[in-house]
Amino acid sequence: MKQKTSKKIAWALAAALCAVVAVPVASALSGMAGKGTSPFNGVYGSTFTAFAEQTETSPGTDAPAAEEPAATYTMQTKGMVALGKDYLLLATNIEDVDAGYAQVGYTVSVNGGDAVEYMSDTYYTGITFRTDEAGGTATQTMEEIFQDNVVTGMVVTEIEYSPKNSYVITPCFENTAGEKESGASVTVPVVRYAVTIEGDAAFAGGEKTAQLAEGDLLPETVLTGAAADGEHALAGWIVTEADGERYVSTIPDRSGLPSRQFVMPGCDVTIEPYIVLGWEHAKDYGGGELDLSEYRTITVSAGSFAQSSISHITVDSASITGRYVLNGDRVGTVYSFSGDANEHFRIMRACSVRLENERTIKYTLKNVGDTDVSFTAYQVNSQTTIDGVPTSGSITIAAGEEKTLEFTFAYNNENVMLLITLEEAVQNAQLWINAEISD
């Protein structure tokens, strides 16, 4: 097949075999963002068996027809972005081919599925693409796209690409008789990223790092070290990415669904476990952070019991509105509320306390709203009784300010309850609260 270089700058759409069209692209073609030197930008040189010349055999003999020597080709893959989507450019050039070759193309299998064939007899020197919605166009030559690896007379095809998929790409060649030969296959694997666990947790096999594709859930994890004492539980993950930190809960929401599980993003991440005192009904000893944010009801011999809840009492509204990481290593619950002076609400968490087992609880509060909040806090035993219980006295936390309250107490109850009584009326106040208990 004689190589003919088209003077028309065009694009061979993978979906339209042998078609010559201009593909609209939002901006100039470029290498895949963030992909670096991943396998889908590569050059692959190999050979395939050339088609045999049909030669007559001698009368009365079974001598086979002579085969031509193998032909050499170069296939390249190049990532690009068009209209917000990722694509692979596939380009192949055959060296020293004769007029017997009519087409060059590819078979592409995605995630082990059926192979789809793309064939073309058109060769290109460059690509035309649209630069704006008004129809402006620009061109890039093959030298600009493939740089040092360009070969005159390259056949170019494009396929839509996703890093979540694997691709097996096989160049194929056809002669004028419709006979096909295939070259060596190239595999473009699923792009995987590293997730590394820091702190007292690991994957079930003891590893601290795993390779996951974007969208994957975490493999099974276990607590390790001091956290593996049976008295603590994993409440979520503090996720560190290039653009900052975020918190992901692992505890099912009120519907019972783990709707906020960690899902692997398209980048390397570090995750640190947020470990809290276990969810069992009675905890007579030990200590740790108390997970206040997840409302859960468990069943015990006496009936159902709310493990973590808010009692609105008289405040117009008091609700959990979110969680976020504080100082890079602590997680709290954001409570939103509005109310008048002397109105109050109560935060309750199941955690046993006994007269013979004095305990200390420390609350860290940060005002994450836009208005100052003035209140008195009480570590109550029952309902709203404040006589003889530890109290903070009247305090004010300005917008953006953080304060710590610490109460030491001993009473017979299976809850710890923080009562907040407003000193002044507020609208749409927001307090971030973290609680930690110890013997």
Name the band, by pLDDT with cuts 50, 70 and 90, for residue 309. confident
Q: What's the whole-number mean pLDDT along residues 405-421? A: 87
- Dist CA 230 CA 127 (whole Å): 63
Across 160-164, 207-211, 251-255, the highest mean pLDDT is recorded for 207-211
The secondary element (H helix, E strand) that includes residue 163 is: none
Does domain 42-55+62-188 bear CATH number 2.60.40.10? yes
- 178, burial (CB in 10 Å: exposed 0-12, middle 13-18, buried 19+): exposed
Length in residues, the chain: 439
The secondary element (H helix, E strand) that includes residue 119 is: strand 116-120
Name the band, by pLDDT with cuts 50, 70 and 90, for residue 304. low
- Dist CA 307 CA 416 (whole Å): 10
Across 71-75, 258-262, 354-358, 367-371, the highest mean pLDDT is recorded for 367-371
First vs last C-alpha separation in the chain: 85
CB under 8 Å to 312, separation ≥6 — which residues? Answer: 318, 345
Per CATH, 42-55+62-188 and 193-278 having the same topology is answered yes
Is the pTM value of this prediction over 0.75?
A: no
Whether 113 has a pLDDT exceeding 70, the answer reads yes
- Nearest CA among 437, 432, 251, 232 for reference residue 325: 432
- Dist CA 178 CA 173 (whole Å): 9
Q: What's the whole-number mean pLDDT along residues 180-209? A: 91
Residue 430: per-residue pLDDT: 94
Q: What's the whole-number mean pLDDT along residues 34-38? A: 33
Residue 424: per-residue pLDDT: 95
Across 139-148, 323-332, 414-423, the highest mean pLDDT is recorded for 414-423
Indicate the residue type of 396. T
Q: What is the DSSP string of 58-107?
A: PTT--PPPPPPPPEEEEEEEEEEEETTEEEEEEEEEEES--TTEEEEEEE
375-410 pLDDT per residue, tens: 999 998 877 788 888 999 999 999 999 999 999 988
Name the band, by pLDDT with cuts 50, 70 and 90, for residue 37. very low
Assigned fold of 282-439: Jelly Rolls (2.60.120)
Neighbours of 154 (CB within 10 A): 25
Whether 252 has a pLDDT exceeding 70, the answer reads no
Name the band, by pLDDT with cuts 50, 70 and 90, for residue 24. very low
Name the band, by pLDDT with cuts 50, 70 and 90, for residue 287. confident
Angle CA 145–7–18, to nearest 5? 80
- Dist CA 227 CA 56 (whole Å): 81
Q: What's the whole-number mean pLDDT along residues 235-249? A: 87
- Nearest CA among 149, 125, 161 for reference residue 44: 149
| Backbone φ, ψ for residue 228 (5° rounding) | -90, 35
Q: Would you say 339 and 315 are in contact if contact means Cβ atoms under 8 Å apart?
A: yes
- 204, burial (CB in 10 Å: exposed 0-12, middle 13-18, buried 19+): exposed
Please give the CATH number for the structural domain made up of 193-278: 2.60.40
Domain ranges of the chain: 42-55+62-188, 193-278, 282-439
Name the band, by pLDDT with cuts 50, 70 and 90, for residue 229. confident
Among left, alpha and beta (phi > 0; psi -120 to 50; other), residue 208 is alpha
Q: Would you say 390 and 408 are in contact if contact means Cβ atoms under 8 Å apart?
A: yes
Q: Would you say 282 and 354 are in contact if contact means Cβ atoms under 8 Å apart?
A: no
- Dist CA 413 CA 97 (whole Å): 88
